[in-house]
Amino acid sequence: MAFTQIYVNLPVADLEAAKAFYTALGGTVNPQFTDETSAQIVLSDAIALQLMTHEQFSGFTKREIAAGPIEAINALAAGSKEEVDRLVEAAVAAGGTEPRPAQDMGWLYSRAVDDLDGHSWELMAYDPSQMPGAPE
């Protein structure tokens, strides 16, 4: 596979509040890529978020920053249903919102959360071997 990591760049209205939100989910701030306009939040060895003020983010694109419409739902896999629940509870306590009830398909459990800027995240735990029609 050619890719080894993913970096998700997100525009945020309040950098300090966004940092607090994502660290409440267990992320850590990487000071090497953090200043007053941008902060890197490391979620795992393979996943990092780059939170940027609107002004900083606008330096990378000529397109308007979306507010309101949804363009993407980012998904993060956790190790268990209990871990999904813990993460969503932490996200809501840090100011996020849960836009819909949990979904439990037996093999896949998921909950959704929107951060302070409306960026949507699907937090899930799944076992593909239990999916209907999965090879035995």
The residue ranges of every structural domain in the chain are 1-61, 72-136
Beta bridge partners of 74: 121
Q: What is the pTM of this model?
A: 0.89
Q: Which of 28-42, 86-100, 119-133 has the lowest mean pLDDT?
A: 119-133
So what's the architecture of 1-61 in CATH?
Roll (3.10)
Phi, psi angle pair for 127, to nearest 5°: -130, 95
Same fold yes or no, 1-61 and 72-136: yes
Q: Which of 48-57, 63-72, 103-112 has the lowest mean pLDDT?
A: 63-72
Q: What is the pLDDT of residue 133?
A: 77
Q: Which residue has the higher pLDDT, 61 or 129?
A: 61
* Residues 6+ away with beta carbon under 8 Å from 72: 120
CA separation (Å) from 120 to 10, 56, 70?
Answer: 11, 21, 8
| Class level of CATH domain 72-136 | alpha beta
**3-state secondary structure (DSSP) of residue 36:** coil
Q: What is the pLDDT of residue 81?
A: 97
Q: What is the pLDDT of residue 123?
A: 97
Q: How many CB atoms are located within 10 Å of the residue 57 CB? A: 18
Place of tokens 């813990």: 86
> Confidence class of residue 132 from pLDDT cuts 50, 70 and 90?
confident
Q: What is the pLDDT of residue 47?
A: 97
